[in-house]
Amino acid sequence: MIKEPITNIGYTRLVSEITNLKETEIPEIIQNIKISASYGDLTENAEYEAALERQGFLLTRLSELQSLLNKLIIIDPLNNNHNKISFGSTFKALNMNTNEELIYTLVGGYESDPQRGLISYNSPLAKVFFNKEVDDEVVLTLNNISTYYEILDVYFDLNKIKSI
């Protein structure tokens, strides 16, 4: 099985979410189901139906997260050399088609949030930039459209990683 990288901060967040589901949210919804079931006729009990639906969602989420845990490998980006773009690197690139500067950080899939500039190391964009360094030029072609980039800076930004 191929392991997917995750930062130690992302791993801690994942474990916290699992713990919260197990110790707080699922026990609360089980209690809500018991209370709403005590109201009588379950066929027309909207609270009961909503609680059952919520329980299904929470149990599915817990199962997904626990399954994800088995596929992860913790990589501390502090240990990487950030002269070249690698896991945990933050880099600034110039979109040479639009002259727009973009800043991205390479993270694991679970941690990715493109709106915040956190891109999965497995994304097409990340694959184009991986192992490149300042002044390298790269081409990303998606749907027969080529976008040209120049790498302006590569560094490690602990605050960006902490924001995951």
- The span from the CA of 90 to the CA of 84, in Å, is 10
The rounded distance, in Å, linking the Cα atoms of 119 and 108 is 8
Q: Which domain holds residue 145?
A: 82-162
The whole-number pLDDT of residue 20 equals 97
What is the total residue count of the chain?
164
**pLDDT value for 80:** 81
pLDDT at 81: 83
CATH assignment at residue 12: 1.10.287.180
Mean pLDDT by 10 residues, the chain (164 residues): 86 95 96 83 77 95 94 88 92 95 93 92 92 95 93 89 77
Residues 95, 69 share a domain = no
DSSP H helical ranges for the chain: 8-20, 26-37, 46-69, 124-129, 158-162
Residue 122: which CATH number?
3.10.50.30
60 and 122 inside one domain: no
Our count of domains for the chain comes to 2
Res 42: pLDDT: 65
